[in-house]
Structure 1
Amino acid sequence: MPFNLLILRRTYKNVNRVRHIVNVLLKYGFGKIVDQLHLGRFVPFRKRLKTFGQWPSLKSPTVPERLRMAFAELGPSFIKLAQILSTRPDLITRPFADEFKKLQDRVPPFPTEYAKKIIEEETGRPIEEIFYRLDAEPVAAASIAQVYHGTLLDGSEVVLKVQRPGIRDQIETDIIILTAVAQLMERYISESIFYNPSGIVEEFARTVRKELDFTEEARNCNRFKRNFENVHDVVIPKIHSEFTTDKLLVMERIDGVRIDNIPEITRLGLNRGRLARIGVDAYFKQVLEDGFFHADPHAGNIFALKDGRIGFMDFGIVGRVTPELRETMANTFLALIHKDFDRLIEQYIELGLVPEHVDLDVFRREFRMDLADFLEPLYGRTLKELNFAEYMDTVTRLAIKHKMKIPSDLILVNKAMLILENLGWELDPDFDFIAAAEPYAIKLVKERVRPARIYEKARKNLMEVGDFVALFPKQMKLIIRKILKDDIHVKMTHIGLEKLIRDMDRSSNRISFSLIISAILLSSAIMHALKVGPMIHGMSFLGFFSFGVAFLLGVWLLISIIRSGRL
């Protein structure tokens, strides 16, 4: 409770930002949500009256479209949130995820003078003592940073990533507000609990704070460079750590063309099939061998070099895969390749995707039927004919239907693989994505039965058994002692009781409010009859004023009832 109160107090300090968010939500037709969250106090009464009754027409944009437009208008924090949510259709449903994918992280650039000032403040040196040349205009401008090209005094061509002035404070402010809004949603909108608003905000805060720390990105880049030091065909840029801080990142410039620039790749005479194979091999190495992968592999972050190699950029968003998850993913790939439905379902259960309360026998039967409807037509096809992107999309839809819990890192893996398959098909229409995965999957499965690995697993299991044998008598003695002392407590959870209490509170409040209005109206009638106070045209001024107050309060009550959708 103290934490919640602290959040709310800090939110009120940023009341102008809260008011702006509420106004934008009203603008795009989310007045009902504003009322349900009790945020109407941030909107002038006259504006609430103006928006009353303005319901979206049949020709107006859909709810996902309107929410996407609202997030775009609310700026960098909400754009980032939408981009993160676009990778979680299991949380927000497919229509919202598809709509959020349309949001592009494009904002007007800030003046280069500010960027130079930040560079000098972060390095503690004048520009002239660091760079032989620094471009006057940025090559890219995003919500968190701007990118410049430059040349160091030693002749090294570099890329500079300079953080936007004040962006940290703005994002922290929005995180505070979003946290408070998430708590209000869980309190007042019971249906929202299924989507876990607080969990979404926590994931967003964790991701965006990592992106704000450029030293974290530098560490990620250095780790990738170590992982690929023996892979000649993959280039990871060198970090100039002497100039890198949490607000400034200076790295080696990779001279190449975007991986989706097919005309330029063709003009350079590069082998497109080889480029596709190098890029996909690099990702399977990251996911299935290193357990540390680039989680944002869009075309702007992958370059084809003139000598036929591939270079990676932008390591702000990374994912991690545990050895257990890598093993299960390998088995999933093999199950897909061999079209083994039952084994595929067992891998999903082993991944912990199925909620605990679900009847596993029923789940196996129903999920297999749904999965078979999609995978059965694949029998008789060659590996080249399998559409991995379509497969992943269908499995995600099935996960939503069966309310499976998909880990965020697994979602990042799926997102990366889908992007990679699309890039592979652009480079080489005959590229066989699943066949490229098979050697890595087989290698992981062989690793699973390696004697040293089996011994290590057996050792861990024996240690767990030993711990259980040692602790069991103590735990039993503690339970018996509590039983003898009559100190056993049973915790009961009333499902839906809080919603009932809230509804009862809301109903009693409305009844009390109605009684107050009735009392004011009755008082107004009495004052008119007894001609209390000053008279205007034969009417009591106090009585007329009381009637006006009662009328406004009555309209306010009517609006809140209509907005709640419960007449």
Structure 2
Amino acid sequence: MGSRLKYISVYRITVIVWMAVKFLLQIFWFQKRHRIWDQVTKRKWKELLKKQAQEYRETAIRLGGLLIKFGQFLSSRADLLPRSFIRELEGLVDRVEPVPFHYSKKILEEEWGCSIYQQLKSLHESPVASASIGDVYHGTLHNGASVAVKVQRYRVREIFNVDFKALRIVFFIIGKFTRYGKKADLPALYKEVVTVITNELDFRLELDNGHRFKRRFKDFPYVYTPYYYQEMSTERVLTMEWIEGAKITDLSFMKKHGIKPEKVAKTLFDLCVEQFLFSGMFHSDPHSGNLLIRPDGTMVVIDFGMVGEVKKTDADSIRSMVQGFILEDYDRVVGALIEMDFLLAEADIDRVKKIIKQTTDLYLDGGFGQLDANKTNDIMDELQVFIKQQPIQLPADYAFLGRAASIVVGVLTTIHPQVDLIDWGRPVIKRWMSGTDSHTSFYKEIIRESAKPLLSLPRALIQFLEDGNKQREWQRSRLQKKFFHQFYLLYGLLAFLVMSAGSGTVIYAFVGNYSLLLLLGIVVGGIGLFGMLVVTVSHFRMIKNTKY
């Protein structure tokens, strides 16, 4: 009876909307009863959110459809939900009961326009995987090649369209009756959800994504993307090469075939860094089920239903934002956030800038290596409060990027627990920070910032003298770096003036045929040139040894 009910529109809409209304009423009543937020209240609050998330997960598994995909979407949105709620949703795996085979067979024959056995020599009736959108079957072509055939589930588009209507009602209620509705751009968020999830319902887009990924990483070492049979793929059917292999986290498989886990982890790290930092498409769901390892050590990437894209303008904005953090130019940081549509129109720019500066100064001056678990939790809590206070809304691609990065870190630590992400990432970050136009652009930025010694040096000294004893110790390391940059620049400028003076003397003596003056000019110019070389090399080494 329950399996039949989930296909009834009124039932689905009622269940989804009532669950949302019940959650809102529980939250309203809790806040009404608890005016003082002490430790006991906070603990009860987290328990309430955990209970709600568990109910959402159970309902999603029971109904299937949009709730599973929307739950996965929400699990990437730290800007929308508390961490205690998200933590529960992260366990929402897209695995459901398969549909009866005769439904899948009917869809195959409708899409192919012929009997399935005209296309296939054989097809196993039991799917090897079942998700909210499609079931995957193992088949064999007439030439003997093994294929994986993904078939859209029975009435799935109809179910999703009903769920979208329910979601619109929920968003309307949130917009009219909650404070969050006044802060967030709910119409834009609804559009994002519909666009992202609807794209997964068209397997032709997944086919195109697979081809794009294969082209982009065709020469990437030890990485393979399956071959797709375009002539056997439609909006509701996707046919691809069958891959024999194990999950990338199967350490016993690696040991059996003499594969080094560290090498596999490094391959995955390099592949994902290339996707996440540089413009182009990236895989949004790189969990261990979508990453396989072959007996020869080759990593296979599958399932391109969920992808995001880092546009070139976005990559430049992210790079500019990171440079802003390093150079303590918070106007640049905020400007990059605006360019990337992180900040909505009504954001208090001055307050955003102030909070970013305070948070950065408080936690990052000591270096990332000094962040323990407590500090990390403090950062996350402060960011959560910060996001609640300001009209910030992550575009879907950035949310997926963050989710994908966190999934990859989990996979990496499973494969190779001793992984040193900072050590592996340092050369890539330096290359990325340089940008695509110039390999020295970042260093130019540092030099440009350091070219204000007559203004910034006195200002830094005054700030140092005015700060209390507690602040002085905290700022000493940062001030020393600033001073060294400025002193190197001053020494370099003096050396350049000496070299210029010597060059001018040489030219004047050469024209006037003054041999003694010519010799003097060569000596002075040589001293200046030597000084410039020493200063440049020393400054470059200091920058190179700085850990970002």
TM-score (norm 1): 0.65
Q: 1:334/1:440 Cα in 2 relative to 1: closer, same or farther (>3 Å)? A: farther
Q: Quote the offset at 1:212 in angstroms.
A: 0.5
Q: Quote the offset at 1:89 in angstroms.
A: 1.7
Structure 2 equivalent of residue 193 of structure 1:
182
1:422-437 equivalence runs, <5 A: 422-437=410-425
Q: 1:333/1:282 Cα in 2 relative to 1: closer, same or farther (>3 Å)? A: farther
Percentage identity across paired residues of the two chains: 27
Structure 1 equivalent of residue 384 of structure 2:
397
1:414-429 equivalence runs, <5 A: 414-429=402-417
Structure 2 equivalent of residue 410 of structure 1:
398
Tell me, what secondary structure is at the counterpart of 2:308? strand
Counterpart-to-counterpart distance in 2, 1:150 and 1:389: 48
Structure 1 equivalent of residue 121 of structure 2:
132
Counterpart-to-counterpart distance in 1, 2:384 and 2:312: 26
Structure 2 equivalent of residue 351 of structure 1:
337
Q: 2:328 aligns with which of 342, 347, 366?
A: 342
Q: Quote the offset at 1:376 in angstroms.
A: 4.2
Q: 2:10 aligns with which of 10, 18, 22?
A: 18
Q: Quote the offset at 1:188 in angstroms.
A: 4.4
Tell me, what secondary structure is at the counterpart of 1:204? helix
Deviations 1:301-357 (A, max 9, x none): 001111111110000111111112213334556778xxx372578435413234554
1:478-489 equivalence runs, <5 A: none
1:289 correspondence with 2:278? yes
1:177 correspondence with 2:166? yes
1:55-454 equivalence runs, <5 A: 62-189=51-178, 191-330=180-319, 340=326, 342-343=328-329, 346-352=332-338, 353-378=342-367, 397=384, 400-401=387-388, 403=390, 404-450=392-438
Structure 1 window deviating more from structure 2 (200-209 vs 242-251): it is: 200-209
Contact persistence 1:89–1:96 (CA under 8 A): no
Counterpart-to-counterpart distance in 2, 1:63 and 1:101: 14
Contact persistence 2:148–2:240 (CA under 8 A): yes
Counterpart-to-counterpart distance in 2, 1:431 and 1:334: 26
Number of equivalences: 415
Q: Quote the offset at 1:140 in angstroms.
A: 0.7
Contact persistence 1:139–1:149 (CA under 8 A): yes
Q: Quote the offset at 1:268 in angstroms.
A: 1.9
Deviations 1:406-426 (A, max 9, x none): 222112111111111121111
Aligned-residue CA RMSD (Å): 3.7
Q: Quote the offset at 1:16 in angstroms.
A: 5.5
Structure 1 window deviating more from structure 2 (370-379 vs 76-85): it is: 370-379
Q: Quote the offset at 1:427 in angstroms.
A: 1.4
Counterpart-to-counterpart distance in 2, 1:163 and 1:107: 13
Contact persistence 2:321–2:336 (CA under 8 A): no
Q: 1:218/1:358 Cα in 2 relative to 1: closer, same or farther (>3 Å)? A: closer
Contact persistence 2:50–2:88 (CA under 8 A): no
Counterpart-to-counterpart distance in 2, 1:258 and 1:443: 31
Amino acid at match of 1:146: D
Structure 1 residue runs of 5 or longer lacking an equivalent are 1-13, 37-55, 455-567
Deviations 1:347-372 (A, max 9, x none): 35413234554454443333222234
TM-score (norm 2): 0.67
Amino acid at match of 1:342: E
Q: 1:135/1:74 Cα in 2 relative to 1: closer, same or farther (>3 Å)? A: closer
Contact persistence 1:88–1:411 (CA under 8 A): yes
Tell me, what secondary structure is at the counterpart of 2:305? coil
Counterpart-to-counterpart distance in 2, 1:103 and 1:361: 39
Tell me, what secondary structure is at the counterpart of 2:243? coil
Counterpart-to-counterpart distance in 2, 1:292 and 1:59: 38
Structure 2 residue runs of 5 or longer lacking an equivalent are 1-5, 29-44, 443-548
Contact persistence 1:258–1:300 (CA under 8 A): yes
Contact persistence 1:28–1:70 (CA under 8 A): no
Amino acid at match of 2:420: D
